[in-house]
Each structure stands twice: as C-alpha cells, then as structure tokens.
Chains A and B, each alone.
Chain A
C-alpha cells in the first residue's frame, strides 16, 4: 500500500531519498520522533508505511511504537490526503442550524464517509468541533476558504469550483 514503486530496493531508495535528507538533520534520539514525523508528512503529504519503517529503524524504535504515536495525534495521517481538505463544522451553532444535513450533502456529492478521501485524491472529508464562525452557521471550510449560511442544495456548486 505504501509506495507504488514496488519492492525493488532501488526504487525504494529513490522513494525514501527525501526522507533520508530530512533524517540527516536529526540525531538518533527518540525525542525527535515528532518533528521528524511532521517534516516527513510535509514531504509526502501523509505517512506511508515504508516511511514509518525507515523512521523506526533510524531511531531504533519498533514500528508499533512509531505507529502508536502517529495514531495518537490527529495531525498525522496514514492515508493519502486529498488536494482539498473539507472541514464540516459540527459545533453547537452549526448543529442547531442543520450542520448534519450539510455533512450528508457533502458525503452524497463525493461518495465518501467522514475521514475518507475520494479515489481521485481531490477531496478529503473531515468534521471539526467548531471553526469559530458561528455567526455564519452552518459552515464548512475548504482549505482556507470559509463557506457559510449553507444549505444542502448549495454544496454541489461549491464543490464543483474546486475540481
């Protein structure tokens, strides 16, 4: 699942080259795990298994230990992420004003569940507790853009503008 380059050592080396550049800047100490993971995720967009294995060997940790840390923090992702990240607000104000219907409309339009990414890697769907734009409820954010006062009918049009 990790990389599309198959198992050949050469292509794996090529795939891991950017990571190895990152690792050069860190000593082999457990305390650097989180900064390394952050930089690796910036590099690859997510944290593929091969990348985690390489980090584990570098820091002399087991893969389970690294996996434990990655799954603890919501900032880390084990799956590729879409080009556009949609965050649907589930805060109280949005909830009261139909946030759930908006979420359902997004799910319908993209054919994915919360936390998933579309096959074409265009969109990732997430829910968040509160965006802090309650005056505009119900709201969603796509990347850095806020879309407020939504109704389910408006969703397809908004999504289309990001394709």
Chain B
C-alpha cells in the first residue's frame, strides 16, 4: 500500500501521514503451525495500544515480528510507510537487504520480559553501548544521556553497578533506559512486569507511565496489568488464535466488552 517514502520525522502536521505501523496481510508460521493469518491493523503515530488475549494467541509473535526477531512468512509490515522486511515492487514481494532492514529497525526499541541486560557490562555501558556503536554518539554525549535516563528511572546512583547486583525491578528499569537511549519512535513492551516480584511491579509501571506522559513514543504493550493498560493506552486489542476479536478504548473494553471471548478472558484475569 504505502510505497512513497514519506519523511519519518514527527509528521503530525503533514497531510495524511502514513500510519506509524501497518500490518498488511501478515502471516506467520512456525513450521507447519500457522500462528498469524491475514492479520491487518494499523497503529497511529504516538498511539499507545495494549494487546491482550489468552496465552498463545500470538501477542509476542506480533512484537517479535516488528523487532525483526522472527521472519515474516507472508505479507508486509510498514513503519512510517517504509517496508520493514519486505517491500512490494511491481506487485511482487521482495525481501530487503539486511542493511535496509537495519535502517528501519533503528526506529524500534523493545523491552523484554526477562530484561536481557548484558551481564558483562556495567549499567552505564549497557545503556551507552548502542548509542555509541549504532548512532555514532561520542562517549561523553552517550554517557550524559544515559545518566539523564538513569535519573528518570531512579537509578542514577547505580550507574557503575553490574546487572547481577540489581533487583529484577531495577534491571527492568535499566532495560527501559537502554531502549530509550536509542530515541525510538516505537517501543515494544512484552509483559515487562511478568517476571517481577509483585512488590517491584509498581516502580516499573511508574516509569512507563512517565514515559507515556512525557514522550510521544508509539507504544505496543502486552500486559496483564489492566489498570496500567487503562492508564496509558488509548486502544486495547483483544487477540485470540492470532486474530483480533475485538478492539476498543480501554474503558469500553474493560467495562463493556462486546465479544464473548473477551468477556470470558477478562473475567478470568480480573
């Protein structure tokens, strides 16, 4: 669909910009199992969307496809109108070269359930590694940015610590700072509090609420924290079997779900 390369900067003022994210006829198979089929949706610029649905409904797969951690079996994913992994040329589906993929991928960041900090690096180095070696920032610049971000997640005094010396909640806040240091347009959050002890969840969600309030980063959130979803997202998409079965603003979705499967799912988790 979108083939012209519109400028990728904040385009709120430009006329009819391409959506930030578009899934077009996306299909994903693992071996012979089809996990996603004919999936179509768009996410607007700066929009924050929560994905809910039973385990195995394909939420993680959607995020991983966007992060290029999984190969798309068929279809297209567009980011600001640019092809992510496959382009359409003369009606044909063409795989992009790794260099081209890397260009678009830079606009996307992800925070994982298991944090995935680099244990061989200090907290500070975890955050500055990519800005220095991917964005070409100077060491000083990257360090200054990193310290500002650490301030924001309340961990400036742990800059020299190693990840193994931190609690899970602290590690996850560092992982958030690390993703933000790349100045992403899109942030993917996959059950970022699911691996945490309950008493540590609040701090992490607090940081994310702050990010949602103070930036216009487009966010795709998979979470079981319904209050959080309500607070930060403008739209909730309910998935089942790789399909969107219902979507609505959170108040509506959580108080008056229309679809029977949504009702059952929400009853089960609340």
A, B assembled together: no
